[in-house]
Structure 1
Amino acid sequence: MKRLLTSVALMLSLLLPTLPAQASWEAASGVVEKVTQDMVTLLEEGVDINNDASLNDAMARVEQRLDGLIDFDYIAQRVMGKFYRRANDAERAHFATVFKHTMVKTYTKALAGFEISRVEVAPQGPESPEPDKQVVTLNVYSGAGTRYSLVNYMLERDGQWQLVNVILDGINLRLTFTNQFADLAERNNGNIQQVITSWESQVDSRVTKTEGS
C-alpha cells in the first residue's frame, strides 16, 4: 500500500499546476487543493488497467494534463544527481523520456488501484519566515480508514507556485528516487545506458507487483 501511495505522491508533485501566486500559505494550499480535485476526478472516471485501450486512453489523458506544466528534463536531472554530469546529451534526453513514460504509467495504474475515501488539507503550521516557501500537509484516507500524511514543500518562483518535494509518512521522495538511480549506477558500473534500461524494467516490475498485491 505504501509503495502504491508513493507513486501517487510522486505524481502529485508532477501534477501541481504553475498558477499565478501570492506569496502566502493560503495561495500555496489552494494549488494543492486544486490538484486534489483533479485526482478525485480521475478516480471517478475509472480506469480498467487490464484493458489496453482503457489504460492507454487514461495514460494519454494524464500525459496531456502534464504536458506544458512539467519540465521533465529538470526532474530527470535532479534524479540523476551527480551522474547527470557524466552522461552525454543523448543519455540525458533518453532518461528524461523514459522517466516521463514510466512515471505516467506508474501513476495511472496506482491511481486506478488506490481507493481514496477522502483528502483533507491540514491546518497551517508555524508561519514560514520566508513567504515564498510554504509547507502544505495533506491527510489522505484510504477506503480502509488508514491515514497517510503528505507533506508538500512549495516554492513560489517567477510568480508561480510549484511543488519541489514531498515527504510521505517520513519518506523523502526526491531523495528516494535519487538514491535509486545512484544504486542502479553502482550496480551497473556507471554505465548510464544500462541504468536507464534497468530503471524502466524495475518500474515495470514494481507496477506489475502492485497490480497483484
Structure 2
Amino acid sequence: MTTLYLASKSPRRRELLTQIGIAYDVLVPPPTDGPDEPQLDGESAADYVRRTARDKAQQGAAWMNDRGMPIKPILAADTTVILDGQVLGKPVDRDDAIRILSLLSGHQHEVHTAIALIVNGQLFEDVSVTQVHFRDLTAGDIARYCDTGEPFDKAGAYGIQGLAGVFVARIDGSFTGVMGLPLFETARLLLHAGITLP
C-alpha cells in the first residue's frame, strides 16, 4: 500500500526510499525537477535549497489536488552543491561540467539536501549539510569522467555513488544526503509527521 507520493524523478531518491521500506508512487508527470530553479536576488545558497524543496512539495500537492488524486503525503527534496557560497547546479554541457569539476578539484565544498513533506496540508521541513573534500583532479581525470556521461544530470557535476566516488577524499556528514535523500533526516521527518517506518 502506498505510503506517500514522491515529487521527484530522481532514481537515486527512489532507490533510497525503497531501501528503508517506504512504499511510494512517483507523481507522473513530475511537477518538479528538470532545469535548476533560479536563485533569487539576495537569496543565500542555504535558503535557496530549502525554498526549492518546499516549492517542489507545494507544486506536487497542487498538481495532485487539481487532478482529484487521493490525498496522501508528498515528499520532495532538492540537493545543492555549494562552494564558497556559490551554488553549483547541474551542468548545461560538457564545458560547464569541466568548469564545475575544476572548481571542486582540491577543495572542500558543502552539499545541502533539503527535504519537504506535506501531510494533510501541513508542511514539515529538514535539511542535511555535508562537507565533501575532493582530491586534486587532473585535466585527464575530468575529461575521462565527462566521457562517461555521468556528470550531466547531477548537482555539482558528480555523483558520489558512482564513478566520482574516487574523487572524494572524505566526507563529514551524510553519504545519502550527498546522493540526494538523507535517510536519517527523512526518517526523522516521517516519524515527526506520524508516518510509521517498517
TM-score by structure 2 length?
0.32
Q: Whose RCO is larger (CA < 8 A, sep 6+)?
A: 1
TM-score by structure 1 length?
0.30
Indicate the structure with greater helix content: 1
